[in-house]
């Protein structure tokens, strides 16, 4: 995330793949087929996802290497450590999103369709730091999720309300 704000450093020019390899080497860990495939797959598109989706997509396919569930979990955890992914819990399960090279943002969670929407607001971090300072708390991050019903679902509810009978 912050790398896009620290222009001029080495990090900004590295792809997620390269950044992860750097991280692995710095820890004496190995660059394996499955770690490569996972990073490639995860950073192919910017979306929220969970361990189960990855296992479905990479765990039972013809192309090798296949990636097993334990490896998915182990690698996700490394990617979080490496600062490439951010993890958070929604409804008892872990959801991940890109962190590396992606600007700071927060979320709105629609309790009807279960979608996560992103937004960013500069004031929030300021407010956060102000509060923390007041308590002598050293901030490493925050999680702000607005829960409610998104525009789309609200519109759908309106529709339903207007009809005399629900035909479904």
Cis status of the peptide bond prior to 65, with omega within 30 of 0: yes
- Site residues (CB under 7 A) for DNA, limited to 57-76: 65-71, 73-75
Applying CB under 7 A, among 39, 51, 85, 110 the residue interacting with DNA is 51
Please, what is the minimum distance in Å from the beta carbon of residue 108 to a copy of itself? 5
Q: Which segment (28-36, 110-118, 129-137, 145-153) binds DNA by CB under 7 A?
A: 28-36
Nearer to DNA, 69 or 115 (CB): 69
142 binds DNA (CB under 7 A): no
Indicate the DSSP class of residue 77.
H
Residue from 32, 132, 149, 153 in contact with DNA (CB under 7 A): 32
For the range 83-92, what are the long-range contacts, defined as Cβ-Cβ under 8 Å and sequence gap of 24 or more? 83/23, 84/16, 84/19, 84/20, 84/23, 84/39, 84/43, 85/42, 86/1, 88/143, 90/116, 90/145
| Site for a copy of itself contains 1 (CB under 8 A) | no
* Alpha-carbon gap, residue 129 to 139, rounded angstroms: 7
Looking only at the bridges linking them, the beta strands covering 85-90 and 116-119 are: unpaired
- Which of 112, 84, 106, 90 is CA-nearest to residue 21? 84
| Selected binder of a copy of itself within 141, 164, 165, 167 (CB under 8 A) | 141
73 interacts with a copy of itself by CB under 8 A: no
| Residues found near DNA in the complex (CB under 7 A) | 24, 28-35, 50-52, 65-71, 73-75, 77, 92-94
């Amino acid at each position: 995330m912050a790398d896009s704000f620290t222009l001029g450093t080495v990090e900004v020019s590295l792809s997620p793949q390269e950044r992860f390899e750097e991280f692995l080497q710095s820890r004496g860990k190995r660059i394996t087929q499955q770690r490569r495939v996972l990073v490639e797959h995860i950073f192919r598109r910017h979306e929220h996802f969970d361990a189960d989706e990855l296992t479905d997509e990479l765990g039972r396919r013809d192309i090798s290497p296949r990636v097993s569930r334990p490896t998915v979990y182990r690698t996700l955890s490394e990617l979080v450590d490496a600062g490439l992914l951010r993890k958070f819990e929604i409804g008892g399960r872990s959801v991940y999103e890109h962190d590396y090279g992606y600007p700071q943002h927060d979320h709105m969670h629609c309790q009807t369709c279960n979608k996560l929407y992103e937004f960013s607001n500069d004031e929030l971090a300021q407010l956060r730091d102000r509060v923390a300072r007041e308590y002598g708390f050293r901030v490493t991050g925050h999680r702000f999720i607005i829960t409610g019903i998104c525009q789309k679902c609200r519109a759908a509810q309106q529709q339903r309300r207007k009809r005399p009978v629900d035909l479904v």
